[in-house]
Each structure stands twice: as C-alpha cells, then as structure tokens.
C-alpha cells in the first residue's frame, strides 16, 4: 500500500496533476451528515491549488492525505470524487460566523474558511436525588479533576492508521433522545450542555461497538459512572457512560457489533440508559449525524 502510494505521488509530481490515481481506486467513503452548526460537522473541501502545493511538499513520503487542523486539532481527511474533504467536528461552544481549517503547504500556511450557522438548543430541567451530583464535595472535585484529564486524553487521540471509517451503528437498540446540545439545569442550577445522545434501555441490555476500534480507557467516573472509550482512528473516539458492566479491556481491539458492556444507571443519572458521546477532532458532536438510520 505504502509503495503504491509513493509511486502515485511520484506520478503526480511528474505530471503536475493532482487528479490523484488513488481516488479512482477508492469507493466513495460513507460520511457523517453535514450540519454546519455548533455541535455539528462541516465537510470542508481542500482547493486543488492547495492540494498541489502540499503534494510538492510531501513527495517522497508515504503520506498522501493533506494534514489539516481546526482550533489546533487534526481533522479527519477523506478522498471523495477527486477531491480532498476535511470532515470537521464543530464544538458546541463555537460562535456562529466564519471559521477556518489550517494546512501547511510548500508556500507556507494556508487556510480554508467555512461558515458556522447559529442553532438554538432547548433547555432541559432535571431533578437529581444525590445533591453531591449537583454540588460536589471538595474531595469529589479533586477526583473529578483527575477523571476529566483521563477523559480528555482519550477523547483527544488521533490515530492515523488505515483509511478513515466514519460510519457508526447505533450501539444499543432503544428509544433515542434528541437532547444533544440541550442546556442543562440540575435542581435549578445551570450546568454544562448535554454533549451526547441518551438511549433508554433496561439495565443489562448489551452495548455493541458501533465500528471497529481499540479500547483506550475504562473506569468508574464520578459523573459518568462506569465508562469506556473506543478509538476508531482519525480523531473519531466514542464514549459509553453509566454502564452496569464493562466487558472489554484497555488495549483490546473490538469489531463492529462486538459486545463491550451493558446498560446501567451508574454515576449522575435519573434512570438506566446509555449516554453515548462521539468526539471528532475532540469536538463532542451530535452522534445522530453518524447513523444511517436516523429514526428515533
Ligand atoms: Zn446523557
């Protein structure tokens, strides 16, 4: 594969053509739906002029795809229809307006801009029995800080092996909430917005890996309860919270459909459900954008 790519690059260098032969060999990858709002995803096309400059810079290496970053985080890059697309996760806290991904070319840094539209999310009021889940004790706060670091490290991974695969299956059968992005008020006090999808299912329901990947972190967390993280590569990392049991170990490779745990009610919950989070370039985006079947 690497030598085939290297010869393609050589050819591109000789012909000055960035209608890259590798495109013709690939079937179009499945892509998450585009939604250019905070919490959504932007497909950002890399202009061919920039691709040519990058091809000149990287000739001789086995790297084919341009490297782009958004807010300092590397983005997934896919080839489709003879063009490169950066598939960019847009953080919930992003302000509507003009934004840009950055690329390094032989001529220096380049930017490709895109617009993020406004989206108003609902406010959700929830009542919790455990007051410490609303206002944690000082020792809880110390624990939460450590857990936040572990979670952030897992969600920030970018593993660039193989081609990006961005198609996810629903991890659990059950009623899906559309509460992604909701502003949350617990016992009358505003807290962080809801950054994932809740799927209601009885305690003990098996949870399946939505795509191939590797388990990169597990643990019992203060807010998220029993939690597991899967790295799917190219900045796509999924997380599973409030589990009753964890059925996989850190370092283990998992296949699409493999059971990784069971639904529970551990951590800050009002009842048994799976909280499913999807990070793309570290942005927690709406998981529904990755599902072919969008029925609720
Ligand atoms: Zn949730």
**pLDDT per residue as tens digits for the range 54-92:** 776 655 444 468 899 999 999 999 988 888 999 999 999
CA 207 to ligand 1 center in whole angstroms? 15
**Residue 295 Cα to ligand 1 middle (Å):** 18
How far is the C-alpha of 40 from the C-alpha of 70, rounded, in Å? 14
The strand pairing partners of 275, in sequence order, are: 198, 241
Give tens-digit pLDDT for 116-158. 999 999 998 989 888 888 889 989 999 999 999 999 999 999 9
Task: Report the pLDDT value the prediction gives residue 128, as an integer from 0 to 100.
Answer: 86
Residue 31 tokens, joined: 């892509």
Q: CA nearest 284: which of 240, 237, 231?
A: 237
Pick from 34, 11, 33: which is nearest to 21 by CA? 11
Collect residues with CB below 5 Å from ion ligand 1: 198, 275
* Beta strands 259-263; 273-280: pairing state: unpaired
* Residue 168 burial (C-beta neighbours within 10 Å; 0-12, 13-18, 19+): buried
Task: Tell me the residue length of the chain.
Answer: 296
CA of 267 to the centre of ligand 1 (A): 11
CA geometry: angle 215, 220, 223, nearest 5 deg:
110
Q: CA 202 from chain center: how many Å?
A: 26
Query: CA nearest 43: which of 22, 18, 70, 17?
Result: 70
Per-residue pLDDT, averaged over 46-53, amounts to 85
Q: What is the mean pLDDT of the chain?
A: 87
User: 49 C-alpha vs ligand 1 centroid, how far in Å?
Assistant: 43
Max distance between CA atoms of the chain, in angstroms, equals 68
């Amino acid at each position: 594969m690497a030598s085939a790519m290297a010869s393609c690059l050589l050819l591109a260098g000789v012909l000055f053509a960035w209608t890259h032969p590798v495109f013709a060999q690939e079937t179009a990858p499945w892509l998450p739906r585009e939604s250019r709002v905070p919490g959504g995803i932007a497909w950002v096309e890399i202009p061919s002029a920039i691709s040519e400059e990058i091809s000149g810079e990287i000739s001789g290496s086995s790297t084919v795809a341009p490297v782009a970053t958004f807010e300092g985080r590397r983005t997934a890059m896919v080839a489709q229809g003879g063009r490169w697309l950066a598939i960019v996760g847009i953080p919930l806290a992003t302000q509507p307006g003009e934004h840009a991904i950055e690329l390094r070319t032989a001529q220096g840094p380049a930017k490709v801009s895109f617009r993020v539209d406004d989206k108003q999310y609902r406010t959700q009021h929830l009542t919790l029995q455990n007051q410490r889940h609303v206002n944690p004790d000082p020792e809880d706060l110390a624990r939460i800080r450590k857990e936040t670091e572990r979670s952030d490290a897992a969600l920030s991974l970018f593993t660039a092996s193989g081609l990006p695969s961005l198609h996810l299956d629903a991890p659990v059968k059950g009623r899906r909430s559309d509460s992604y992005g909701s502003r949350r008020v617990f016992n009358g006090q505003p807290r962080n917005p809801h950054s994932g999808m809740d799927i209601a299912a009885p305690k003990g329901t098996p949870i399946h890996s939505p795509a191939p990947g590797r388990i990169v972190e597990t643990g019992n967390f203060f807010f998220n309860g029993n939690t597991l993280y899967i790295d799917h590569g190219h900045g796509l990392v999924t997380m599973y919270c409030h589990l009753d049991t964890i059925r996989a170990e850190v370092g283990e490779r998992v296949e699409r459909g493999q059971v990784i745990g069971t639904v529970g009610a551990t951590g800050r919950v009002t009842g048994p459900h799976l909280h499913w989070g999807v990070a793309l370039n570290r942005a927690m985006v709406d998981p529904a954008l990755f599902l072919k079947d969008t029925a609720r």
